[in-house]
Structure 1
Amino acid sequence: MIVVREYDSSRDLADVEAVERRCEVGPSGKLSLFTDLLGDPLCRIRHSPSFLMLVAEMGTEKKEIVGMIRGCIKTVTCGIKLDLNHKSQNDTVKPLYTKLAYVLGLRVSPSHRRQGIGVKLVKMMEEWFRQNGAEYSYIATENDNEASVNLFTGKCGYSEFRKPSILVNPVYAHRVNVSRRVTVIKLDPVDAESLYRLRFSTIEFFPRDIDSVLNNELSLGTFVAVPRSSCYGSGSGSWPGSAKFLEYPPESWAVLSVWNCKDSFRLEVRGASRLKRVVAKTTRVVDKTLPFLKLPSIPSVFKPFGLHFMYGIGGEGPQAAKMVKSLCGHAHNLAKDGGCGVLATEVAGEEPLRQGIPHWKVLSCDEDLWCIKRLGEDYSDGAIGDWTKSSPGSSIFVDPREF
């Protein structure tokens, strides 16, 4: 008998952690990435507007937790519509919103797999999604994770939807130089919200509660890069506010925000040979001893390390990619000061600003896989029809609460 119920932190924590450890058995002889949730199984969903964690319990007298799943719900942009009330000659668009659910953290104990537990957990979570008005559900998984892909697309009715790229760059022992031709300006949360809503709210997956994201305690700030030669790059007091800035922008500019994942979870790479560990340590020693050489070094990823996540990346103009590169350099130095091992982001596969994001290919994932499912046919098609059948755009907004 398998019973699926809501997670109870007062009695389930130890058993849930035990299942997580049992699921951390990676392929023999291969590098594997493991996640430590710092003793809080809800840490990756608790910042969302609505969330739930379910556990699968087996047994009659002596009950045993053999699986778990996490889910959250938010309202995001799924398309655009024309503003029919706009009377000027230039057409304007407004975001189309939908209530979207996200499934993450599905785990089934290795000794209890192939018994339908994973499917049952997904179905129970989807029922909660429906009860709370979610129109779509999606998941993110590795493109080559056949077991996960088969479960969701073969047994649970999901379809492949988007293939963004996860770009990861190590945090070196030295500080990265930011171009002297660029000025980096930190926005206050209210101004950052204004900029995102005015310019980026029509991008797929843009969260309607962006203000909650920007005001969260894990948010480290939103930064805009402009040419130092522009009127906005001359120093303090030159920033006019986002609305005025977007009305009279410089020829090129860029924006990104930084999220502190380090205080939510830690990562660790296991399975590395002694030789790889020695080589990595040698690069760090050289980098720390001779930081002025600016030599790339491999961070200590073979023990628990933290990361910062860059999100809301955007910009305009012929030099926008160079502006993004400067912002990434600034974010690197924030991560170094914060004691992080890597700096990461996730962008659409065709993101035009991708070339400005420094990353190591060996640490990155060219094709993450997002799968989506429409939860009910009784919802109005609206102006975009079925979102699951829409074509991808050049950009997406990746919510840092779900990374």
Structure 2
Amino acid sequence: MGESEFVPSVAVSVREFDPTKDIEKVEAVERICEVGPSGKLSLFTDLHGDPICRIAEIGQETVGMIRGCIKTVTCGKKLHRQGKNNTEPKQVPIYTKLAYILGLRVSPHHRRMGIGMKLVKKMEEWFRDNGAEYAYMATEKDNVASVKLFTDKCGYSKFRTPCILANPVFSHPARISHKVTIIELSPSDAEILYRSKFSTTEFFPRDVDSVLRNKLSLGTFLAVPKGLYRADTWPGSTRFLEGPPPCSWALVSVWNCKDVFTLEVKGASRVKKTLAKTTRVLDRAFPWLRLPSVPNFFEPFGFHFLYGLGGEGPQAQKMIRALCGFAHNLARDRGCEVVATEVSSQEPLRCAIPHWKMLSCEEDLWCIKRLGEDYSDGSLGDWTKSPPGFSIFVDPREV
């Protein structure tokens, strides 16, 4: 994403994406734009149903594109006193209208012509016209061209450095602790729990109900100690929150990216490909050994994304491990090769999330820009200057 310098040479026009005639042209640009460094996961997207998209053209040739969306999210929190004498303090979220830039692509044959910057400016115009107070984007910290475009030329500042954790889905099911019970929550139950426990988490979407009810959301799962509840005796989130809290619990939701995104490891050597294939051959020959055979990452494959990950209590990490094992088995049953998530670099539960370093990004980079005056629900000031918290809520619609 991005370009290294501005050298204008030809007239470039930017217009709205027309799904009836532009899909093939834009997908062609997607295919020739390598996303991600050599040896890492590369991403190929399905453009159908994007919230807003602009394309750049030189004559009749499509040479670039950009997508974006606007939503209301938590950007901070304030103390609210409640009760008869206003003595019971409660933290409540401060919301702001946030725009997100995603999918900026410029054809390799037309870079260093200012096309990327022109696309960003056009998208920002749409953001402002629709009341967005901030805009942000995500890129890899090693993507020098992208970072320079946004920070040096477009006025963005480095804001957060979450990590992307990806784990292979092996042919054998993961073992889950028999001391943990996993309960699938209804969307309404999940919404109650999320709003009660996570609404003050940075980037929490005000319309979390829409996320949980989206057709791509495969469910929300709660892990509690064995014997506390059974799936058939779950009292509901309201009673769960009103009653004595369990010593430990954890929560996660699963998003189906399989039909929307395709991943592929590019740039791997022939030796690495051969070694990976050898593990699969050995596993088929000796299945009782339960060898961790490496899936075929060198051709396009599907994945599941874990979001809304969190928990409380001294055994929260144990609960998260059980949920990750459950998510692994769900992905295995649905024919996916990877389970991925993105969390704050300071997330206390991060160490309990299984992942392969070679597939993961230890330091993603989010950059942010203030588009205008802040009209958030509360006295926030400038969000771009706020310190990071321990956790963030990654909206799966923007993955």
Aligned residues: 387
- Equivalent residues of 2:258, 2:302 under 8 A apart: yes
State the alpha-carbon separation in 2 of the partners of residues 289 and 175 from structure 1.
Answer: 17
Q: Which AA in structure 2 matches 1:164?
A: P
The match for 2:239 is 244
Equivalences for 1:234-273 in 2 at 5 Å? 235-247=230-242, 248-273=244-269
Residue 27 (structure 2) pairs with residue 8 (structure 1): no
Q: Is the 8 A contact 2:303 2:331 kept in 1?
A: yes
Q: Aligned partners of 1:192 and 1:399: how far apart in 2?
A: 15
Q: Which runs of 5+ in 2 are unaligned?
A: 1-10
Write the deviation string for residues 281-322 of structure 1: whole angstroms up to 9, x where unpaired: 111233344444332221110011000000101110000001
Contact 1:174/1:288 (<8 A) preserved = no
Local SS of the residue matching 1:93: strand
Corresponding position of 2:304: 308
Deviation at 1:32, TM superposition (A): 4.9
| 1:41 alignment partner in structure 2 | 47
Q: State the identity as a percent.
A: 65
Rounded Cα–Cα distance in structure 2 between residues aligned with 1:296 and 1:305: 18
Q: Which residue identity does 2:129 align to in structure 1?
A: Q
Q: Deviations over 1:123-165 (max 9, x none)?
A: 0000000111110000000011100000000000000000001
Shift of the alpha carbon at 1:88?
5.0
Residue type at the aligned position of 2:70: I
User: Does the 8 A contact of 2:191 with 2:212 survive in 1?
Assistant: yes
Equivalents in 2 of 1:264, 1:25: separation in Å? 16
1:19 aligns with 2:29: yes
Provide the residue aligned with 1:122 in structure 2: 120
- Distance, in Å, in 1 between the alignment partners of 2:208 and 2:283 is 38
Pairing partner for 1:70 from 67, 72, 79: 67
- In the other structure, the counterpart of 1:228 is 226
Residue of structure 2 in register with 1:185 after alignment: 183
Query: How far is the alpha carbon of 1:380 from its aligned partner?
Result: 6.6
In 2, Cα distance between equivalents of 1:289 and 1:255: 37
CA shift digits 1:164-220 (9 cap, x unpaired): 010111000100010000000000111001100111111000011111111111111
2:80 aligned residue: 83
Partners of 2:101 and 2:36 in 1: CA distance: 22
Structure 1 residues 379, 250: closer, same or farther in 2, change over 3 A?
Answer: closer
1:31 aligns with 2:16: no
Is 1:42–1:53's contact at 8 Å kept on the other side of the alignment? no
Which residue of the partner structure matches residue 359 of structure 1? 355
Amino acid at match of 2:94: L
Q: Would you say 1:284 and 2:280 are equivalent positions?
A: yes
Q: CA deviation at 1:339?
A: 0.6
Residue 321 and residue 263 in structure 1: after superposition, are their counterparts in 2 closer, same or farther (change >3 A)?
Answer: same
Of the three residues 99, 102, 127, the one matched with 1:101 is 99
TM-score normalised per structure 2 = 0.93
| Aligned mates of 1:292, 1:95 — CA distance in 2 | 51
Q: Specify the SS of the correspondent of 1:266.
A: strand
Equivalent residues in 2 for 1:384-403 (5 A)?
Answer: 384-403=380-399
Distance 1:228-1:380 versus aligned 2 partners, 3 A rule: closer
Change (3 A) 1:143 1:228: same
RMSD: 1.7
The answer (yes or no) to whether the contact 2:106–2:115 under 8 Å persists in 1 is yes
Q: Find the residue that maps to 2:397 and give its secondary structure.
A: helix
